[in-house]
């Protein structure tokens, strides 16, 4: 039995608020929600974390269209190697509540395709995208024998019982009810590599990455606290597979006498950030319209 998650992690399956519009088959051939609601977001609603709230339901309390595009057309994680540009002024300012439901359980990838269909139908969204090769940092193994540092271990299949306070929390898998407890479901081939299993993000005095692939680790290093020190985004090129638990003791921002972040990564994780080339995706909003809200 996995360790029980605390009450702060309990997933609440909320019923639709307002009138739910019925969705027909998407013209693009992508799957679509059977019913969906879009309305202006409530003031103060938090857009994070975002993950399907159940295998057949997605609920997003507050996101601009720009943020929705990152969610729908990204990889399910932080999407640090992606940029959304263009569109009318409101796409980055007006926040919406979005909820969609389908009759049968769906994978996170399928849910994202349904969200794409919804944005294309309700916002009349038209985009173009381009993938290029760009200069960036690469996350690689530091040691010739491939051994990792003392603060890295293979994920043991469990999550902590209480969620630690985090900044930049990563999207995580929805929890599963087992009796009177909520636990992490068994691993599946349908899982998103860029979605964490357990609480992951910047903690007080460092980083915790739990039940993650190295792709998520590279994305954490691409977020503002680490990126400010490293200078640019980082892409995983370790070729390590599976999921890991990593902890990094490091104060952001560091004191003047502290070692460099790259040194801490090398000593604690047995990894190295090195200049290299990686892929970068640009999504441009060609046109969009304000939807008729429910």
**Count of CB atoms within 10 A of residue 249's CB?**
12
239, pLDDT greater than 50? yes
Query: Which range (55-59, 62-66, 88-92, 264-268) has the least confidence?
Result: 55-59
**What pLDDT score was predicted for residue 3?**
41
Residue 52's pLDDT is 57
Say if CB 39 and CB 293 are below 8 A apart.
yes
Is the pLDDT reported for residue 20 higher than 60? no
pLDDT of residue 44 exceeding 80, the answer is no
Rg (the chain; Cα; Å):
20
3-state SS, residue 231: coil
pLDDT band of residue 98 (cuts 50, 70, 90) is very high
**266 SS3 class:** helix
User: Among the listed ranges 11-15, 77-81, 184-188, which one has the minimum average pLDDT value?
Assistant: 11-15
DSSP string, 37-98: EEEEPPTT----S---SBTTEEEEEEEEHHHHHHHHHS-SS--TTEEEEES-GGGGT-EEEE
Compute the mean pLDDT over every residue in the chain, rounded to the nearest whole number.
Answer: 86
Residue 66 Cα distances to 69, 95, 193, angstroms: 5, 9, 23
Per-residue pLDDT band at 47 (split at 50, 70, 90)? low
Q: What pLDDT score was predicted for residue 88?
A: 97
Q: Which two tokens stand for residue 215?
A: 């792709």
| pTM attached to this predicted model | 0.82
Give the C-alpha separation, 83 to 16, whole Å.
31
């Amino acid at each position: 039995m996995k360790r029980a998650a605390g009450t702060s992690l309990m997933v609440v399956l909320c019923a639709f608020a307002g009138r739910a519009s019925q969705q027909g088959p998407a013209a693009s051939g992508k799957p679509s929600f059977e019913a969906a609601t879009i309305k202006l977001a409530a003031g103060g609603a938090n857009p994070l974390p975002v993950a399907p709230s159940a295998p057949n339901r997605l609920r997003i309390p507050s996101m601009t269209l720009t943020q929705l595009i990152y969610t729908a057309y990204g990889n399910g994680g932080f999407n640090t190697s992606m940029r959304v540009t263009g569109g009318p002024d409101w796409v980055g300012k007006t926040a919406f509540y979005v909820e969609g439901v389908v009759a049968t359980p769906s994978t996170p990838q399928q849910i994202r395709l349904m969200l794409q269909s919804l944005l294309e139908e309700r916002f009349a969204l038209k985009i173009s995208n381009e993938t290029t090769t760009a200069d960036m940092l690469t996350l690689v193994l530091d040691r010739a024998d491939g051994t990792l540092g003392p603060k890295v271990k293979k994920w043991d299949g469990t999550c902590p019982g209480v969620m630690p306070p985090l900044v930049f929390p990563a999207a995580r898998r929805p929890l599963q009810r087992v009796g009177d407890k909520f636990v992490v479901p068994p691993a599946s081939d349908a899982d998103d590599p860029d979605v964490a299993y357990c609480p992951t993000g910047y903690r007080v005095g460092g980083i915790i990455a739990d039940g993650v692939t190295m792709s998520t680790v590279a994305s954490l290093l691409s977020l503002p606290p680490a990126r400010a020190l490293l200078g640019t985004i980082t892409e995983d090129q370790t070729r390590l597979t599976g999921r890991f638990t990593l902890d990094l003791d490091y104060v952001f921002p560091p004191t003047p006498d502290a070692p460099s972040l790259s040194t801490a990564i090398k000593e604690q994780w047995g990894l190295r950030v090195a200049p290299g080339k990686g892929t970068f995706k640009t999504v441009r909003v060609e046109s969009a319209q304000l939807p008729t809200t429910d």
